[in-house]
A and B are shown apart, each in its own frame.
Chain A
Amino acid sequence: GEDVEQSLFLSVREGDSSVINCTYTDSSSTYLYWYKQEPGAGLQLLTYIFSNMDMKQDQRLTVLLNKKDKHLSLRIADTQTGDSAIYFCAEYSGGGADGLTFGKGTHLIIQP
């Protein structure tokens, strides 16, 4: 079945850029998403990218997609303490049948 992999932890200093990486196996993925989950909360959609794009920028967020390598990354510029959360990569193959396939999430830890 489809699989989405992420590293579990990332530690960065406040003000630096954070880069969270994700790999996926389903070559028929049509959309790829990044969600943010703060402690005790649900998932907040951060951004998404369609599979025929290779980059998308939205304010401090930059998403890069390497479809050949099935690699997705999320760059957060000027990381702030409020960015501390778990970041989930998710892929969707269309048709709705199996919902989103999520990675296990990357805990972003901000050091002062």
Chain B
Amino acid sequence: EAGVTQSPTHLIKTRGQQVTLRCSPISGHTSVYWYQQALGLGLQFLLWYDEGEERNRGNFPPRFSGRQFPNYSSELNVNALELEDSALYLCASTKEGLAEETQYFGPGTRLLVL
């Protein structure tokens, strides 16, 4: 069974640009979570999508947004990039009723903003 996949693996952007990151969950998983792992800040919850709807978002500004498609894949969009957006962006998938409600993570997209 294929795991969670993310693309691209690495990205370099400049301040003010916009970026789109993609995530494909494990087959059968309907929930996708996005996390930001910035240096010195640990992993922080960004967004939660379930069954195509945004269910909750963490303490991030509105320029962080996303969506979930009918096939449960997801995109994370970041507008007006700032230097402090440089981080590893991790996507995780799970499904309601999954034992232990375990989240399985993808390899991440490393974003560098110059």
Contact = CB atoms under 8 A, between A and B. Distances in A.
B102 A45 contact: yes
B78 interface: no
B105 interface: yes
Contact of A44 (B56, B105, B110): B105
A12 interface: no
B33 interface: yes
Nearest to A49: B100
A106 to B, nearest CB: 11
Nearest to A92: B101
A64 to B, nearest CB: 17
Interface residues of B, number: 27
B106 interface: yes
B105 A43 contact: yes
A45 B104 contact: yes
Interface in A83-107: 88, 90, 92, 94, 96-105
Q: Which bracket fits the contact residues of A?
A: 20 to 34
Given A48-B102, A88-B43, A96-B31, A43 B90 contact: yes
A81 to B, nearest CB: 22
Given A42-B90, A43-B90, A98-B58, A33 B42 contact: no
A11 to B, nearest CB: 21
Given A35-B105, A42-B107, A99 B55 contact: no
A99 B35 contact: yes
B75 interface: no
B107 A41 contact: yes
Interface of B: 4, 6, 31, 33, 35, 42-45, 48, 50, 55-56, 58, 90, 92, 96, 100-108, 110
Interface of A: 30-31, 33, 35, 40-45, 48, 50, 88, 90, 92, 94, 96-105
